[in-house]
Chain A
Amino acid sequence: MTEGEPLIAVQSVRVAVSESANTTVRVDGVSKQYDLGGTVTALDDVSLDLSAGSYTAVMGPSGSGKSTLLNLIGGLDTPSSGQVVVNGQDVSAASEAERADIRGTEVGFVFQTFNLMPRLSAVENVALPLVFDDWDRARRRERARSLLSEVGLGDRTDHVPSELSGGQRQRVAIARALSTDPALILADEPTGNVDTETGAQILDLFDDLHAAGNTFLLVTHERHVAERAERIVHVEDGHIQSVEDVSGGEH
């Protein structure tokens, strides 16, 4: 471990967006405060780059700002200061509608609690981002079906979430995250709600998808989960403490 030696942390030099052709995500001096009577600083001057095809894990204690960081990158939230650029688009400066488009097409979310639409079937859930991306129905369903087969659920396409196991639900969510072929997949504790064995299967699926060229940013507080990634970003109290390379996976 190389604690206390930030490798990527402080990069306050302005880099033009176009220069970073290989950079999928650039987080530059981002802070996030919440005002609830007093001010809570969830993130404090965080900078981080993710290159295309990389697999990064974010670790840290509860309340350290991991989810906040993920939400800012995914355009679910906007930073109080600093810049977030995803696939060439400045998320931090985007309008609400533009952020909605970025969420729909540039990133795919996988949540701990799956967050599937309860009354839509698996195939409809997977197709949902395509609805907002204005695909026609036939193409949506075709794409959703093929993604469901890819994650091993080709025989469950018409089941609603309540008819699926936790692991199956998470695989539907992963298929949904892939549907618009996003530049980046953001996973917030994707194995937090499933048993160890199912969690391992999900991580195997991530490995396959990573091998196929997808970029991953995964939040976890489990070491063995984080070690599936190429590197681990340690966050504490809103700061990046260190960035650890996990070469060869076996550490």
Chain B
Amino acid sequence: MDTGESVRITLRSIRAHKLRSALTVVGVVIGIASVITFATFGASVEAEIVGDIETSNAGNIYVFGTPSGDDDFDRTLQPVFTEHDIQELEGIAGVQAVLPRGIVQTQSVQHGNQTLARQQVTATRPASFTPGVLVEGRSFETDEEAVVVNERMAGSFSENLTAGERLTMTMPDGSERNVTVVGVVNGTRGEVPVSEFARQPRVYVPIDPFYESVVESPSAGVRQRAYPQVTLVVDPREIPETQSAIQTYLTGASDARSLSADDTELVARSGNDFVEEISDVIERITRFVTGIAVIALVVGAIGIANVMLVSVTERTREIGIMKAVGARNRDVMQVFLVEAALLGTIGSLLGVPLGLLVGYGATRYAEVTFSLAPLWMALAVGVGVLVGVVAGLYPAWRAARVDPIDALRHE
């Protein structure tokens, strides 16, 4: 039987029961819209966070120690990567820069007459500040009594810090160091990937003369500076090879290995590893929440099945007529399946824009950039039609099996 005709018969039947059909469609709309809402919101959050990380950190490899079985990278980090390790890492093929990072303890940071207590001060190399991250001024140089601050830090004082101004740092022993702010940055090369909104106020200082954590290097036999974390900037075309070479060094002959507790794992993780990990977590959450929304869709499907069963009973006589004039069982089945599929399709066509609208509202509320989840949208429409068809299968099968004589006698 030609589909056009079954659609025509179906549309007449739907039009004859406008309210009933509309309510059925509403069930599907709610199901599809919830799925789309959660999927788009999840995709938007993911795109936002991953996008932040990806732009600046594609070629970074982060090296740190972590207690075994715990993947949380910012646990208490021990300064185990010695100058000797840094030199060895610099020699690995594909490594373009090695950026050690250390924490310098301060009691407070003072600017003008304003004092901020317990500020995080990070010791690093000048190479951390590429022209790309500099908002104003320049990078400090090694041996310079100068600091670079990030924008959050600059904004932490009632009068914004700018390059050329002076800061006073009070060290743990009470001594004061007067330094010049030579630059303001909006991030650093090789920082641990965090999203823009997770960024903390920071002061950066050159390792010389600020950073003083030293240990005796087992391989060099002398006391050297040691750092809790090292970032390597590597050739983006050779990330996997370089990463495994770094990993081999760390677990093999490194000072860090000898200096770390046995249950500490030394890891080299690429920016992509972080991206994947974060994406994975967000995706899992999205899938879970969307899965819950699917329940709404199932309720919609039950609505369709219910209405279809009523429709089959009501139209028993019509089924008899169709059979009397030559309809095969599958023709009858087709008529009812088309009706169910049509209800599902209308439901998803209305549900998709509604879901997008609510999802857009949610992203605005959460202040993340709205991104589409086209795959989910296609899936939702497909599922809507499928829900209709599946929900219509049993009623349609019942319709097809109606005995024509009984049907013609019906009513």
- Please report A residues at the B interface, Cβ cutoff 8 Å: 71, 74, 76-77, 96-97, 100-101, 103-105, 109, 111, 115-120, 124, 128-129, 131-134, 136-137, 176, 180
CB of B329 within 8 Å of the partner chain: yes
Q: Are A115 and B5 in contact (CB under 8 A)?
A: no
Q: Report if A109-B12 is in contact (Cβ < 8 Å); known contacts: A71-B405, A115-B320, A134-B2.
A: no
Residues 395-411 (chain B) with a chain A CB within 8 angstroms: 404-405, 408
Q: Are A132 and B324 in contact (CB under 8 A)?
A: no
User: Which residue of chain A has the shortest Cβ distance to B401 in the bound complex?
Assistant: A96
A106 to chain B, nearest CB (A): 9
Q: Pull 22 A–B residue pairs with CB atoms less than 8 Å apart, ordered by A.
A: A76-B404, A96-B328, A97-B328, A100-B326, A100-B331, A101-B326, A103-B323, A103-B324, A105-B326, A111-B324, A111-B408, A115-B320, A115-B408, A117-B9, A117-B322, A119-B13, A129-B325, A129-B326, A132-B1, A132-B325, A176-B325, A180-B326
Q: How many A-B residue pairs have CB under 8 A?
A: 74
Max count, chain B CB within 10 A of own CB: residue among A77, A120, A131: A131
Max count, chain A CB within 10 A of own CB: residue among B323, B325, B326, B328: B325
Taking A97-B329, A118-B318, A176-B325 as given, write out 17 further A-B residue pairs in contact, using a Cβ cutoff of 8 Å, ordered by the A residue number. Answer: A71-B405, A76-B404, A76-B405, A100-B327, A100-B331, A101-B328, A104-B325, A109-B324, A111-B408, A115-B324, A117-B321, A119-B13, A119-B16, A124-B8, A128-B322, A133-B326, A134-B1
A126 to chain B, nearest CB (A): 10
B385 to chain A, nearest CB (A): 23
Q: Are B12 and A131 in contact (CB under 8 A)?
A: no
**Chain A residues in 8 Å Cβ range of B269:** none
CB of B221 within 8 Å of the partner chain: no
CB of B174 within 8 Å of the partner chain: no
CB of B202 within 8 Å of the partner chain: no
A56 to B61, CA, bound (A): 96
A130 to chain B, nearest CB (A): 9
Q: Report if A104-B326 is in contact (Cβ < 8 Å); known contacts: A76-B405, A119-B16, A137-B2.
A: yes
User: Which residue of chain B has the shortest Cβ distance to A74 in the bound complex?
Assistant: B324
A134 to B1, CA, bound (A): 6
Q: Report if A76-B324 is in contact (Cβ < 8 Å); known contacts: A71-B405, A97-B329, A119-B13.
A: yes
**Chain B residues in 8 Å Cβ range of A103:** 323-326
**Chain B residues in 8 Å Cβ range of A101:** 326, 328
Q: Are A132 and B331 in contact (CB under 8 A)?
A: yes
**Chain B residues in 8 Å Cβ range of A131:** 1-2, 5
Q: Are B329 and A96 in contact (CB under 8 A)?
A: yes
**Chain B residues in 8 Å Cβ range of A176:** 325
B13 to chain A, nearest CB (A): 7
A132 to B333, CA, bound (A): 13
A125 to chain B, nearest CB (A): 9
B43 to chain A, nearest CB (A): 44
CB of B84 within 8 Å of the partner chain: no
Q: Are B328 and A132 in contact (CB under 8 A)?
A: yes
CB of B317 within 8 Å of the partner chain: yes
Mark interface residues in B319-360 (1 if CB within 8 Å of A CB, else 0). 011111111110100000000000000000000000000000
Of A71, A118, A128, A136, the contact of B325 (CB 8 Å cutoff): A128
A76 to B320, CA, bound (A): 10
CB of B69 within 8 Å of the partner chain: no
B333 to chain A, nearest CB (A): 12
A120 to B317, CA, bound (A): 14
A128 to B324, CA, bound (A): 10
7 A-B pairs with the lowest CB-CB distances in the bound complex, closest first: A104-B326, A132-B326, A119-B12, A129-B325, A100-B328, A131-B5, A115-B321
A71 to B324, CA, bound (A): 10
B86 to chain A, nearest CB (A): 81
Mark interface residues in B299-328 (1 if CB within 8 Å of A CB, else 0). 000000000000000000110111111111
Q: Are B405 and A117 in contact (CB under 8 A)?
A: no
A134 to B326, CA, bound (A): 11
A7 to chain B, nearest CB (A): 30
Q: Report if A115-B326 is in contact (Cβ < 8 Å); known contacts: A131-B1, A132-B1, A137-B4.
A: no
**Chain B residues in 8 Å Cβ range of A76:** 323-324, 404-405, 408
Q: Are B405 and A77 in contact (CB under 8 A)?
A: yes
Max count, chain B CB within 10 A of own CB: residue among A111, A116, A128, A180: A128
**Chain B residues in 8 Å Cβ range of A118:** 318
**Chain A residues in 8 Å Cβ range of B2:** 131, 134, 136-137
**Chain B residues in 8 Å Cβ range of A115:** 317, 320-321, 324, 408
Q: Are A120 and B324 in contact (CB under 8 A)?
A: no
B156 to chain A, nearest CB (A): 73
Max count, chain B CB within 10 A of own CB: residue among A109, A119, A133: A119
Of B4, B13, B322, the contact of A132 (CB 8 Å cutoff): B322
